Amino acid sequence: MALITINRPAKHNAISLDTLEELHAAVGRAADSDAVRAITITGAGEKAFASGSDLSEVLHRDFRKALEPIVQGLADRLERTPKPTIAAINGICMGGGLEVALGCDLRIATPEARFATPEGKLGIIPGGGATARLPRIVGRGWGMEMLLMGEPIDAERALSIGLVTRIVPADELLAEAQRIAEHLAGFAPFVPRTMKAMVNFGMEASLSGALMLEKYAQGALVQTDDKTEGISAFLEKRKPEFKGR
């Protein structure tokens, strides 16, 4: 597992443009490494995953700069990389920080985690993908509630609406992320990346298109050596030895 940490604890891990560059580079290195099977992103310290974009920079942002991908680009990268991505959320996860987490495939949180899209209170709207991804993840109703109201929700509420899938004690957060990564590493290498692609692209397609794409993807995987090994190991009651071919 590659662990990437948003490290600006003095500013509750607010994401500056320089921080974004570093995060892009780190995600790129992890995505390109054959040794990495999953990517986890978290925040330094116990108070925040990321409190949002650095407002001292947003204050002077003009229309031209706002049209650049900025946070949206990082979330897209996390979503599109073939490797599973995990957001390990400790504390405040708001604004641009939440949008980074929304780009991840899995989100786990501590009981102290808090989530919000407060941009409306600042005279703007989210620009990192929340208006598109949040309703797709939690549904239109809760998406509208969070986007329009801008009020924080706690970890239990986030779990109940599907924003996160697990709540774990703070001292076990990264260990849980590691357990998830090790579990994913136990699958044939083609499986997580294909599953991820099917969900992401399938949700953008019609139901019939998504179903057809699924069948072609399964058709490709049934021809792999790993399929033969996986089924044989199951029938023989042994641990499979996948080779990624």
Catalytically active residues are 99, 119
* Token pair belonging to 100: 């980074």
Cα–Cα distance measured from residue 46 to residue 150, given in angstroms and rounded to the nearest whole number: 23
> Which phi-psi region, left, alpha or beta, contains residue 63 (left: φ > 0; alpha: ψ -120 to 50)?
alpha
Instruction: Measure the CA angle with vertex 176, ends 172 and 179; round to 5°.
Output: 140
Residues 6+ apart with CB under 8 A from 89: 42, 43, 49, 101, 107, 108, 109, 110, 113, 115, 164
